[in-house]
């Protein structure tokens, strides 16, 4: 979150990523949010987004050789969506390394799914520029390996709200109720807190996210957990 990154911090992050940059300034750029100035990670993010989609698509094509196009598309969407990327970014503790403007930092931007996922995509782009497609492919597959190995054509890829609704209907219960408890942060970068209630839940659950929709999905995921149903994020 500091405006400058010490060499030791960069080395720790590179150790976590499993890649040492020939040009460390590319990593610094990948970690620089647009709130910090015009020289930021947006171009690298654009590049990384395309590379990520290609690498994951290629892996899925080889991994599921009997899958139809629609099935592969759903699996890829599950892998490259914002929530998945943000989870991986948190595993690397990227929030501790982001370079942001003071306002964005104070509003908690380093915890926001959108900013974390964009930074991860920017790092992918930076690795590609620093090395080549083979190196970035190896890194991406390594970072996503646990999630890729858990994928199955038989698993439900329905979103948490749909899954929760179907579960409650199957148990002849009323539909869940969602209520926005509060919003925090500036208007362009808010965090929503949404409560989900159901007659089958012992206690209401609260999810948070960068939009009301995301917060509702996260609340539904927590509700499924409380009801003893595992949801594949």
Task: List phi, psi (to 5°) of 21.
Answer: -75, 135
With b for 16 or more beta-carbon neighbours within 10 A and e for fewer, the 4-19 pattern comes to ebeeeebeebeeebeb
Does the active-site annotation cover 134? no
Closest CA to 120 of 51, 23, 186, 211: 51
Angle at 208 between CA 118 and CA 197, to 5 degrees: 150
Q: What is the dihedral of CA 23, 27, 28, 32, to 10 degrees?
A: 150
Does the active-site annotation cover 121? yes
Q: What is the CA radius of gyration of the chain?
A: 19
Of the candidates 59, 104, 113, 121, the residue annotated as catalytic is: 121
Q: Tokens standing for 113?
A: 């799914």
Q: Tokens standing for 33?
A: 């949010």
Q: Tokens standing for 57?
A: 């698509």
Say whether 170 sits in a helix, a strand or coil: helix
DSSP bridge partners of 193? 182, 208
Q: H helices within 109-204, ranges in order? A: 113-130, 133-150, 160-170
Of the candidates 49, 59, 130, 216, the residue annotated as catalytic is: 49
Task: List phi, psi (to 5°) of 194.
Answer: -120, 130
Residues recognised as catalytic: 49, 121
């Amino acid at each position: 979150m500091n405006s400058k990154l010490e060499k030791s911090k960069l080395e720790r992050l590179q150790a976590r990523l499993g890649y040492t940059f020939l040009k460390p300034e590319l990593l610094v750029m990948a970690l620089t949010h647009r709130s910090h100035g015009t020289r930021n990670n947006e171009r690298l993010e654009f590049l990384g987004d395309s590379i990520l989609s290609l690498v994951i698509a290629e892996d899925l094509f080889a991994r599921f050789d009997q899958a139809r196009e629609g099935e592969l598309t759903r699996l890829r969407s599950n892998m490259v969506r914002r929530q998945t990327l943000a989870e991986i970014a948190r595993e690397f503790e990227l929030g501790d390394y982001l370079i942001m403007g003071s306002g964005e930092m104070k509003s908690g931007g380093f915890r926001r799914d959108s900013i974390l996922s964009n930074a991860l995509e920017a790092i992918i782009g930076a690795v590609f520029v620093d090395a080549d497609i083979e190196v970035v492919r190896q890194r991406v597959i390594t970072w996503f390996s646990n999630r890729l190995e858990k994928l199955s054509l038989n698993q439900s890829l329905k979103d948490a709200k749909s899954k929760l609704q179907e579960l409650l209907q199957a148990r002849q219960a009323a539909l869940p109720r969602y209520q926005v408890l509060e919003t925090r942060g500036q208007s362009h970068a808010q965090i929503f807190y949404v409560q989900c209630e159901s007659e089958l839940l012992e206690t209401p659950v609260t999810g948070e996210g960068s939009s009301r929709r995301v917060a509702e999905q996260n609340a539904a995921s927590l509700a499924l957990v409380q009801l003893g149903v595992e949801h594949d994020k």
